[in-house]
Amino acid sequence: MLSDIQARKAKAKDKPYKLADEKGLYLLITPQGAKLWRFNYRVGGKQKTLSFGIYPDVGLSDARERLTEARKLLAAGSDPLVQRKAVKAANAERAANSFEVIAREWHQIHMSDKTEDHAKRTLVRLEKDVFPWLGGRPLAEIEAPEILAVLRRIEARGANELAHTAKRTIGQIFRFAIATGRASRNPVPDLQGALKPVSVTHYAAITDPGKIGELLRAVYGYTGNLETRCAFKLSFFVMLRPGEVRKAEWCDINLERKEWRIPGHKMKMRDEHIIPLSRQAIEILEEIRPLTGVGRYVFPSVRSTDRPMSENTITGALRRLGYSGDEMTAHGFRSMASTRLNESHLFNPDAIERQLAHGERDSVRAAYNRAQYLPERIRMLQWWADYLDGLRIGGEIIPIKKTA
């Protein structure tokens, strides 16, 4: 019988040799000095060799335990080598059908038509909040309580809305797994009502004309860098989301045609969006063009011209001007324009909605709206810019008459 001391002191020789233990177990020492646990057995008249690992990673007692398990399989009429391959194949299949593997496949396919930011944000949230707990589990074996535990961790840090978003994403991944034949049911609907409700909050926006004038004067008097100052001012005139302003690219802007066309792949709703440029908007773009016009972005990052301005730049500028998050946000410029334009009763509400780039479910109608409302939107954005100028200067505002 082999002892641990003998195994430890065994030295390499010119040729491989064996140190026998008991019941067929032996330690094979190679010329390179490796010490390998082996067990020879016969099945159907054919000799086979089973490996139990490398010494000292697998000690003598562990090797004997593995030998015992192998001999039990033989006594039951099973081939331990075949059994090992079957277990390995089953584990490989489980790994291939793990939640993370399927989720990444879903992400690659499902997010292909989403904006880069949205796709990246979705994956980062999965990597941070879901994969550490569910990623390695076979998706088909995951039940509702496991998912709820993951969502409750997100809730615990006060991110209720994010917990609901994660729930929807997990549900979409399960539906994808069912469609591709790797799951038979989706446990996410079983969680209906299990999470805390989300309180719907709207982005704070200034809509009172007098206060809009005050904000305009503060922004036009802002003493930050030129890129921030121009992005800040342009936000009033284009009715765009903050991300669309800060990611503005010169290749999409035609100052001669007084038009900014954002391709669909850069828009939240994946539909090309046209922004007629008022005289005031063009003046702002002309002001910044000598500084950034040779690059890609109208408002590049202060750290690299290859990246757009930081998403917190306008919000930070608002805070430096003394406006809290309860008073005004970077998204608030859209609500400001929508409120005042709708209350003017000078423009078709559908034209206002189209300029806000809100989604149109019917693609035929969306295309029709783009053609039908563009002339009105051109007039509307110039009226809006003139109206803002009047508020900033503090003069009397005389609304334009609605043309036939």
Active site residues: 241, 268, 331, 334, 358, 368
Phi/psi of residue 260, nearest 5 degrees: -125, 115
**Are 167 and 125 a contacting pair, CB within 8 Å?**
no
Closest by Cα among 81, 118, 113, 117 to 270? 113
> What count of other Cβ atoms lies within 10 Å of the Cβ of residue 17?
14
Q: Can you read off the two tokens belonging to residue 155?
A: 């809730």
**Are 183 and 140 a contacting pair, CB within 8 Å?**
yes
Distance from chain centroid for Cα 57: 41
**Are 318 and 330 a contacting pair, CB within 8 Å?**
yes
Q: Can you read off the two tokens belonging to residue 1?
A: 């019988």
Strands lying side by side in the sheet with 273-276: 253-254, 259-262, 273-276
DSSP 229-295: HHHHHHHHHH---HHHHHT-BGGGEETTTTEEEE-GGGSTTSS-EEEEPPHHHHHHHHHHHHHHTTS
Side chain identity at residue 233, one-letter code: K
Helix (H, G, I), strand (E, B) or coil at 177: helix
> What count of other Cβ atoms lies within 10 Å of the Cβ of residue 80?
20
Q: Can you read off the two tokens belonging to residue 152?
A: 């409750």
Q: Kindly give, in sequence order, each residue whose CB lies less than 8 Å from that of residue 40, ignoring residues fewer than 6 positions away.
A: 24, 26, 47, 48, 49, 50
Using the Cα atoms of residue 352, residue 354, residue 360 and residue 363 in order, give the sign of their dihedral: positive
**Are 169 and 151 a contacting pair, CB within 8 Å?**
no
Left if phi > 0, otherwise alpha if psi is -120 to 50, otherwise beta: which for 16?
beta
> Which pairing describes strands 46-55 and 259-262: parallel, antiparallel, or unpaired?
unpaired
